[in-house]
Structure 1
Amino acid sequence: MRLFLTVISLLICCCAALAQQPQKYHKVLELMGSRFEISAFDADAQKAWDGINAAITEISRIERLISSWDPNSQTSLINRNAGIKPIKVDNELFQLIQRAVQISRITDGAFDISYASMDRIWKFDGSMKEMPDAEIVKEARSKIGFRNIQLNPAKLEVYLKVKGMKIGFGAIGKGYAAQKAKEKMSALGIKSGVVNAAGDLIAWGKDIDGESFKVGIADPRKKNHVLSWLKVNNTSVVTSGDYERYVLFDNVRYAHIIDPRTGYPTTGIKSVTIVSANPELADALSTSVFVLGIEKGLYLINQLQGVECLVITDNDEIVTSKHLEINNKS
């Protein structure tokens, strides 16, 4: 009888211990026009789902604020009034625009949220059969320029000085949303989680096995094959790639990322991965390196503390920043 009771006690203890083990709770959905994957690792299922739902609510809120496709957003209001008058905005949007302009200065215009005037000229859906007319590109390019984004901190006003000028957050918005989602989840007690915004990923805490999360870098030649692995510990990994979105003219491959300084797509690079504590910054820098090219891009990254980079060239060569450690084993 005592042996039977001991066995029962051991089973109860084991079940209680298993109940305390973190489990993975996961949701995949489309937000901001992209695939989002949100994961929480916790022993409490209700807390995990509360965290995931809070992240979804936050991302949806940010989308309403920054979307240039929503006619009711503050961003659309700014664009409609380009060359007409300044627009007062929420402090959150003002700060995001201000940070974007600072990155433009750091990258000498390789990153520029006013690139949006080019959004109807280049098509990367297979419909383009020839290069657009040079005069059309030139006209649209004349409306790009971060120096023409006038900011008034005292009044929280944003003014685009050139008629027809537009701003868009395609190269920074998902990284910002991932960071804000992580903050919401952490505030609800989620100590381990992953938010992956279509390649803009932030991870914190530990995986179920107690180890650091591992992020795979896709092989451009085989998108379902992992070329190398990065260990992620309370940081973000953001990848910009042209695996599927590019055009080919005269045997030259043009990526879907536009150089705001010329109005033409970038060449020479298939993907850029940035590792940084801040996914918003990483998002912007991945685009910047695409535009700057390998030499200037890596020179920039090597000057930035706490930021690393991995580049895959058109020739499938892997080039990294000074201190990035990668693992080719799974």
Structure 2
Amino acid sequence: DLLKILMKAREISELTEGAFDITFLSKEPSDYSNVFLAPELSLAALRTPKTQIGVSGIAKGYIVDRMSEVLRKAGFKKFLVNAGDLYAAGPWKIGIRNPEGGKGATLCTLLVHNRAVSTSGLYERGRHIIDPTTHKPVTRLKSVTVIADSSILADALGTGAFVMGKDKIPLLAKKIPNISILFVDNQGVRGAVGKVSECLP
């Protein structure tokens, strides 16, 4: 399972041009290329001894996908897996949290069908999203919500898009088919790419 997570992490690191990077914990300059992967040998290794990895920005999505897979194999056709990140099998209405409101405040409600939804925001655990190039918290945005085909993709892209910032989000979305991204910047201005126009004022 770990090798699958690391392989997907490398793919998303490349898509986000390093904005998503599991080596962000390293004490010395490092990036995702320092993680050597040889899937044909079931092998993963770190190229330098001081490289550290953290999979918190992608593991939750992987777990949601695995749970969804188990439910499908058990014969369930409509279900909602909620482990912080969501996967909705069948049609569901999903409320998107308003980062400027109190607990339970909703920005909008989306109708999703066989889709994963993941939100990264400053309201979750304060300034916990780190720019891997500066090693400082990112504060340009208040929240980013990604709607994608899988939870592992939505989870990691949420972090990557948060670090990239609103100007680069449309460019990121063009690289990946069938995703939508909703964001709120630090001034409270909303923006969206894809089929989430109902969340715009």
Query: Larger relative contact order (C-alpha < 8 A, sep ≥ 6)?
Result: 2
- For the residues of structure 2 that align with 1:245 and 1:276, how far apart are their CA atoms? 23
Q: Secondary structure at 2:41's aligned position in 1?
A: coil
| 8 Å Cα contact 1:110/1:291 also seen in 2 | yes
Where does residue 240 of structure 1 map in the other structure? 120
- For the residues of structure 2 that align with 1:296 and 1:204, how far apart are their CA atoms? 30
Q: Secondary structure at 1:110's aligned position in 2?
A: coil
- For the residues of structure 2 that align with 1:259 and 1:308, how far apart are their CA atoms? 22
Shift of 1:320: 0.2
More strand by share: 2
Matched, 1:162 2:41: no
- For the residues of structure 1 that align with 2:149 and 2:92, how far apart are their CA atoms? 14
Q: Which runs of 4+ in 1 moved over 6 A?
A: none
- For the residues of structure 2 that align with 1:164 and 1:238, how far apart are their CA atoms? 31
TM-score (ref. length: structure 1): 0.58
Where does residue 105 of structure 1 map in the other structure? 14
Where does residue 155 of structure 2 map in the other structure? 283
Shift of 1:217: 1.1
Shift of 1:101: 0.7
- For the residues of structure 2 that align with 1:155 and 1:304, how far apart are their CA atoms? 28
| 8 Å Cα contact 1:217/1:229 also seen in 2 | yes
Alpha carbons of structure 1 residues 221 and 153: separation in structure 2 relative to 1, 3 Å: closer
Where does residue 87 of structure 2 map in the other structure? 202
Q: Secondary structure at 2:131's aligned position in 1?
A: coil
AA paired with 2:65? Q
| 8 Å Cα contact 2:166/2:183 also seen in 1 | yes
Shift of 1:327: 5.5
What is the number of residues matched between the two proteins?
200
Where does residue 3 of structure 2 map in the other structure? 94
Alpha carbons of structure 1 residues 323 and 260: separation in structure 2 relative to 1, 3 Å: same
Structure 2 matches for 1:273-312, cutoff 5 A? 273-312=145-184
Alpha carbons of structure 1 residues 195 and 162: separation in structure 2 relative to 1, 3 Å: same
Two-structure CA RMSD over aligned residues (Å): 1.7
Shift of 1:298: 2.5
- For the residues of structure 2 that align with 1:244 and 1:178, how far apart are their CA atoms? 19
Indicate the structure (1 or 2) with the bigger Cα radius of gyration: 1
Matched, 1:231 2:111: yes
Quick one: which of 185, 188, 192 aligns to 1:316? Answer: 188
Alpha carbons of structure 1 residues 327 and 161: separation in structure 2 relative to 1, 3 Å: closer
Quick one: which of 117, 130, 140 aligns to 1:258? Answer: 130
Matched, 1:115 2:1: no
| 8 Å Cα contact 1:302/1:321 also seen in 2 | no
Q: Secondary structure at 2:198's aligned position in 1?
A: coil
- For the residues of structure 2 that align with 1:268 and 1:203, how far apart are their CA atoms? 29
TM-score (ref. length: structure 2): 0.93
Matched, 1:189 2:40: no
- For the residues of structure 2 that align with 1:323 and 1:192, how far apart are their CA atoms? 22
- For the residues of structure 2 that align with 1:218 and 1:287, how far apart are their CA atoms? 16
Shift of 1:257: 0.2
- For the residues of structure 1 that align with 2:114 and 2:39, how far apart are their CA atoms? 32
- For the residues of structure 2 that align with 1:317 and 1:148, how far apart are their CA atoms? 37
Structure 2: gaps (5+ residues): none
AA paired with 1:216? G
| 8 Å Cα contact 1:230/1:325 also seen in 2 | no
Q: Deviations over 1:157-207 (max 9, x none)?
A: 111011122212100001110011011011111111111111x100112xx
Matched, 1:219 2:98: yes
